[in-house]
Structure 1
Amino acid sequence: MVRVRGRWYEPTNLYVVVALPPANRKSAVFSAMTGPLYEAEKHLANEAAGRIVEAELTRKMTQEAADKAATRAAGADGPERDNLVAEAIDLAQQAEALTVPPRPRLLADDSTPETVTSLMAEQGGRLAVMSAEGGIFDIIAGRYSGAANMEVFLKGHAGDRLKVDRRNREEFMEAPALTMGLAVQPSVLEDIGKNRGFDGRGLLARFLYALPESLVGYRKIGPAPVPETVAARYERNVMALTLSLAERAEPEVLQLSPEAGSALITFEERMEPQLRAKGGKLGHVGKWAGKLVGTAARVAGLLHVAAHLEDGYAKPIEPSTMTAAIEVADYFADHALSVFDLMGADAAQARAQSLLEVLRSNGWDTVSRRDLFAKLSRSEFPTVADMEPAVALLEEHGYLRIHTPPRTGKRGRPPAPRYLIHPQVREGQA
């Protein structure tokens, strides 16, 4: 984890989703990226196999000895019985104290939230869910259980204490660390955007989104492959980093150099005005953008240990590493705007776009609220009140202006407000 400042710590696990249409070779790239992790998992499993067999056999033999002692004690009398009972109890306690280590697991794929929780608990609170499909979102939403269960995915990102008490299991993790890496089709993002439970609980705000441009139809045929030396070095380094961390029971705490800390504060100062609900570039995705400074710190930690495989824990994070992490954060911020627009996560923005289309198509100089409402779809704007946030957003961006005509001095209702439409909207240039 990275110590940002004071008691602010950020774990370095990330949730990342890359979305591309079919035929963009997502699966091949995904396999190349995750291959070293599966190799590391296999290596750890082979190393642990002997210890697991030894522990299972020792526990079985100790339990059998305890059972035999209990049988002998049951048939004895007097002082001999007391001695045999004490021996049986001692052996039973020894058998209970013997723990069989679980088979090492680094990765999960098509798993239920309950399975992910159990695997994480077995593995000391750490696990990665990596998948070239988006089915995990359906599972979280309750495909099998009928009810959404996202607790492990919320707390696994933040590192919040997780305790599960159920009739058939009890699991506890002091600081869970879950990683998620998904490669999906854009339609998956559209579908999860419709699930307000994901957004309401803050799950969507925990993901970093990449929506690259599809190159299908413009690809170079027969491109040069990744150089073998580069591919081999990537595999070797990812395996080495994974294996070096596998046996650590407690997280390493990475420190920022004073210059790196200053660079992060400068980024935070640049970001803060963008979070404003009115006029902020990222205001309408505030839940997501509010985590971006912490994300930059997480990315800096990952870049740091990748650059210093052997001695990174003993060195502070350098300012150049933080600058690179901020560049990555800016990349994800640009893509988040596109993805949340695709998901339709901001209803006011979507409605404002629909309202703008009506203004363009009718070519009004000015229009009353009643006449404008009459032209809108009732499925999108059931009431006039539903129209107001979209009107306010268009006014904020200069597409229209609300004008209230002066009173004439006559009795009766005051004149209703009218909307003055910007000339470029009428001319189709806005």
Structure 2
Amino acid sequence: MNTEFPQPIPFDAAANWPEPDLTLSQSGRPPAPVMTDDEFSVVFGPWAEWISTAAKVKGAPVDYVSLALLATASAVIGNSRWAAPWEGWKEPPVLWAMLVGDPSAGKSPALDAVIDPVKEIERGLSEEYKTRRSEWERDEEIAALALAQWKVETKKAIAEGNDAPAKPAIASAGPPPVRERISISDATTEGVASLLAATWRGLLLSRDELSGWLGSMDRYSGGGDRPFWLEAYGGRSYTVDRKGSPEPIIVDHLTVAILGGTQPDKLTSLLVKTDDDGLLARFLTVYPEPVPLSRPSAQIDAAKLRIALERLRGLPSAFDDSGNARPFYVPFSPDAADALQEFRGQCREWEIEATGIFKGHIGKLPGLAVRVACVLAHLDWAARSDGRYPDSIESEHVGRACHLVGEHLRLHAFRAYGAAEPAEEIRNARKLAALILRERPRNLNVREIQRRGLSGLQTSKQIGAAMSVLEQGDWLRQVAEDTGGRPRLMFIVNPRIWGSK
């Protein structure tokens, strides 16, 4: 028994108490959904074993590795291949992925398993760029000499009344080479737009912690970042006006995949502060339980992923009538389109029961299933040795995507933010409920709670609101203690709380 609480009121265990609402002592989040081994094998096909091994080596849940793989592959595919379920509907493949968990849950190691091969590819791209840059600088020096000579000859010809000589082709080295990128960790909207305008294909924004990026999005831009990123999800044309330059940056397809982690409390803070503009609803989210600590007994086949990503980078684009690159639109087979339409109906039913940001997320599920189906189809191809690109997305791909997005990731999203932190008085009532279960006091009063200095339970107003919640849940009963003067309010604790445990 906790002696810090006063015990002046008789404790009558035989009093007529109702059963308390023990849900007040429970977390508001449901347990993490888990796929069976058979489900996992079907959904991820030729990548299931690689994901499982990488997760074991990194000491991370398979959900972290699998979602990181999907998001990374989506960025590498980028604007080369878009999914086209039917006439009038085209989806870029890019996915936004958020890994939710405590600091020791294994988010960063899981990201490393997928990002390390990307960095290896980028090191090769950097060496290629250095070589091309060196060659361009040599040609630029020659061009400068040829240009100077041409100017001298032109000036002389004009002075002598002759026609000016044609400018020689060697007098221009052309535009400098572009350093190809796959991933970025931070960049301004202007910087991202410049990279996309130069490289066209698409990018992956990868960050260990997404909450800082999301929380500071509008800090320096006067509110312009959120619309930019909303457009980056859709892959549409976008124009960025530059300060000090009359020429804007024009991006044909603003396409950026996003991958990163965050902690549950930081996500909750974001959910409380954010405007419901659909930004968070676009994220595929996983919030698994931590895995037991163990020493790895296997190795990750990093070469398999690197080779697959290089194959995806080699996917050719289509071209419009003017010869400009455009996405190749991969159609759905009739059976795949039927399966997608059925899934849309299921999502409509789920949406009716949902609220808040989770409702917005449910509304995005059909489009997310289209994107995931496109990524799965191309990952299957990248794992094989044959050279035939997927020329359609089949019902198998759609079925796997709908199961993953609808039956698994939807429940992770609900765990992460569909059942987000409740109102302050509910949070504080849960703190008091935990204290009651831990210390078993017979009665409580406001002053003794204040002395504890518990976060959120420091003012009489906060404590009174929390006590009121516990009263309504039949945890407490309010009585007035006769002190010979002004009665002092006390709260008797329901003894059935411990009998129910």
Q: TM-score, normalised by structure 1?
A: 0.70
Deviation at 1:172, TM superposition (A): 0.7
Is 1:188 the counterpart of 2:188? The answer is no
Q: What letter matches 1:241 in structure 2?
A: L
Aligned to 1:367: none
C-alpha contact 1:256 1:317 (8 A) present in aligned 2: yes
C-alpha contact 1:260 1:320 (8 A) present in aligned 2: yes
Deviation at 1:243, TM superposition (A): 4.1
Deviations 1:208-258 (A, max 9, x none): 11111234xxx24324334x5x44423332333234469994323222121
Q: What letter matches 2:359 in structure 1?
A: G
If asked which structure has higher relative contact order (CA below 8 Å, sep 6+), I would say 2
How far apart, CA to CA, are the structure 2 residues paired with 1:327 and 1:75? Answer: 76
C-alpha contact 1:17 1:208 (8 A) present in aligned 2: yes
Aligned to 1:42: 123
Is 1:234 the counterpart of 2:305? The answer is yes
Deviation at 1:18, TM superposition (A): 0.3
1:379–1:148 distance in 2 versus 1, CA, 3 Å: farther
Aligned to 1:177: 255
C-alpha contact 1:274 1:282 (8 A) present in aligned 2: no
Q: What letter matches 2:368 in structure 1?
A: T
How far apart, CA to CA, are the structure 2 residues paired with 1:185 and 1:203? Answer: 18
| Partner of residue 334 from structure 1, selected from 378, 387, 411 | 411
Aligned to 1:412: none
In the alignment, structure 1 segments of 5+ residues that lack a partner are 361-374, 381-398, 400-426
Aligned to 2:213: 136
Q: Could you say what secondary structure the match of 2:209 adopts?
A: coil
| Partner of residue 379 from structure 2, selected from 272, 283, 306 | 306
In the alignment, structure 2 segments of 5+ residues that lack a partner are 1-81, 320-324, 434-459, 466-472, 474-495
How far apart, CA to CA, are the structure 2 residues paired with 1:296 and 1:136? Answer: 26
C-alpha contact 1:112 1:140 (8 A) present in aligned 2: no
Aligned to 2:101: 20
Q: CA RMSD in A?
A: 3.7
How far apart, CA to CA, are the structure 2 residues paired with 1:20 and 1:296? Answer: 24
Q: What letter matches 1:288 in structure 2?
A: H
Give percent identity, aligned residues only: 24
How far apart, CA to CA, are the structure 1 residues paired with 2:240 and 2:357? Answer: 34
Listed as ranges, the matches of 1:3-402 within 5 Å are: 3-74=84-155, 78-80=159-161, 82-83=163-164, 87=166, 90=167, 95=172, 98-124=174-200, 126-134=202-210, 135-142=212-219, 144-145=220-221, 147=223, 149-166=225-242, 167-168=244-245, 170-196=248-274, 199-215=275-291, 219-226=292-299, 228=300, 230-244=301-315, 249-276=325-352, 280-281=353-354, 285-309=358-382, 310-311=386-387, 313-330=389-406, 331-341=408-418, 350=423
Q: What letter matches 1:180 in structure 2?
A: I
C-alpha contact 2:178 2:199 (8 A) present in aligned 1: yes
C-alpha contact 2:142 2:170 (8 A) present in aligned 1: no
Q: Could you say what secondary structure the match of 1:53 adopts?
A: helix
Q: Could you say what secondary structure the match of 1:129 adopts?
A: strand
C-alpha contact 2:200 2:252 (8 A) present in aligned 1: no
Deviation at 1:293, TM superposition (A): 0.2
C-alpha contact 1:252 1:313 (8 A) present in aligned 2: no
Q: Could you say what secondary structure the match of 1:181 adopts?
A: strand
More displaced stretch, 118-127 vs 239-248: 239-248
How far apart, CA to CA, are the structure 2 residues paired with 1:91 and 1:350? Answer: 73
C-alpha contact 1:55 1:100 (8 A) present in aligned 2: yes
C-alpha contact 1:164 1:170 (8 A) present in aligned 2: yes
Deviations 1:110-163 (A, max 9, x none): 323332222222221511111222232244232x55655223311111012101
C-alpha contact 2:184 2:205 (8 A) present in aligned 1: yes
How far apart, CA to CA, are the structure 2 residues paired with 1:91 and 1:131? Answer: 48
More displaced stretch, 165-174 vs 329-338: 165-174
How far apart, CA to CA, are the structure 1 residues paired with 2:237 and 2:187? Answer: 21
Q: Could you say what secondary structure the match of 2:389 adopts?
A: helix
1:208–1:259 distance in 2 versus 1, CA, 3 Å: same
C-alpha contact 1:355 1:376 (8 A) present in aligned 2: no
How far apart, CA to CA, are the structure 1 residues paired with 2:226 and 2:168? Answer: 42
C-alpha contact 1:209 1:339 (8 A) present in aligned 2: yes
Q: Could you say what secondary structure the match of 2:260 adopts?
A: strand
Q: TM-score, normalised by structure 2?
A: 0.61
